[in-house]
Structure 1
């Protein structure tokens, strides 16, 4: 929704300002320029991509129109799930959660939080970490293992926005290409009256305009939106990491989830009382 509103504001502001200066709209409609600029930019983007990176870009495009969905309720849910696991570990021993992490789809704990249970990345991050601890009984390397996992996740998430950003940076150059071609065509009509030449020169300059507009008004913001969404996703996993690391170090369940709560960004962070009420419920 915000992406659509933003694009409406970008194009609406430009067109409104142009019309206020008594501009003629049909002059801006140059489909040949659009084909040259966007086609060349997309072609160069495909040349620069591998099958892996192209797949990541296509997969992440949904984030442009969507939203990461981060909220206080989502953070409270993950704290509630972790607390249930930690309480079971504390009361019945680490081995008691073996079935929960081996078969989360059949776990009563995970099934209390269906939104999290459907998120395979979250389930695997929690399950794989606790599985290593359950298998080895060694808490010393768990924190480092989670950091490695998060670093790998972060590096993969950065590929899509960087790829889109590089394509955006190429658009002004492609706009110049289209403008030069327009000038070449105009030179072939050098004997025409000034009003005809003016029309063709204006059409050529539209190429530069389109390239800059789509760079800074469309594709650049798209890459930035995906990058921000992935950053919010990374903060979510940082909360899980802090809570799990504390539990494995031997903290009580409430202290472990408090470590997680303190890692939540202030905008979404529940108060201790709100968290306590959630855990009791």
Structure 2
């Protein structure tokens, strides 16, 4: 599990509360149900309105992924591919069936299994690239949902503030209530801006980044499967796959590959 989003959102909210206290504010004054209901509820509803119900269901389900996903760098798959290539070079593709039982990457398993089954290399690549495209599209839709929520939230907050100020004008005959009413009116803007920049946009960016990392891993696997199917030298495969990785993400030395 990579807790970056969980840590970032929670600590960000805590810092805001601490700063409020240091300025002499009362944290309880920020937790007003009407403006929070307006901002969060309306933001979610108008975001749903901008897409489809399946989009919304998938996006909300992806919240768990955003907070608890295990990041799998593309470099981690290189040693596995090289190990499979070594055995395939010594014993043939059919010998890899037993090895696949210990591989925990379904995409790699699928690619190698297609190769073992004798699928044409071009067809293997086409099938696997289609899955990459589908994964990118799915991740893009989820990230867009939260990016849209981040765009709507500040405006929804302003709507709440305007509603609150209208209520203030209705109570001008009660000056002792004006301070409290004005403060409450601006809580909606606070939650609108804060939820956008501390919750919605970070979640959207997290999902976008997770999709990029997973797609990069899948693309490395595609090249690895193609090389295994072609019977390439494991050392050459290691060098080729490593060259696809960004600086700093290369796996440990694979010089022992035969």
TM-score w.r.t. the length of structure 2 is 0.85
Unpaired segments of 5 or more residues in structure 1?
A: 101-106
User: What aligned pairs does 1:112-261 form with structure 2 within 5 A after superposition?
Assistant: 112-113=102-103, 116=104, 119-128=105-114, 130=115, 134-136=118-120, 139=121, 143=125, 146-193=128-175, 195-261=176-242
In 1, Cα distance between equivalents of 2:197 and 2:170: 32
Q: CA deviation at 1:276?
A: 4.8
| Aligned residue in 2 for 1:32 | 34
In 2, Cα distance between equivalents of 1:108 and 1:6: 42
In 1, Cα distance between equivalents of 2:110 and 2:181: 59
| Aligned residue in 2 for 1:110 | 100
Unpaired segments of 5 or more residues in structure 2?
A: none
Ranges of 4+ aligned residues in structure 1 off by more than 6 Å: none
SS in 1 for 2:251: coil
Distance 1:21 1:135, change over 3 A: closer
Q: CA deviation at 1:36?
A: 1.0
Corresponding residue pairs, total = 256
TM-score w.r.t. the length of structure 1 is 0.79
In 2, Cα distance between equivalents of 1:25 and 1:81: 51
SS in 1 for 2:161: helix
Q: CA deviation at 1:221?
A: 0.5
Distance 1:81 1:197, change over 3 A: same
Distance 1:24 1:79, change over 3 A: closer
Task: Point out which structure has higher relative CO (alpha carbons under 8 A, 6+ apart).
Answer: 2
Distance 1:38 1:125, change over 3 A: farther
Residues 178 and 204 of structure 1 are in contact (CA less than 8 Å); yes or no, is this contact kept in structure 2? yes
Q: CA deviation at 1:191?
A: 0.5
Q: CA deviation at 1:164?
A: 1.1
SS in 2 for 1:23: coil
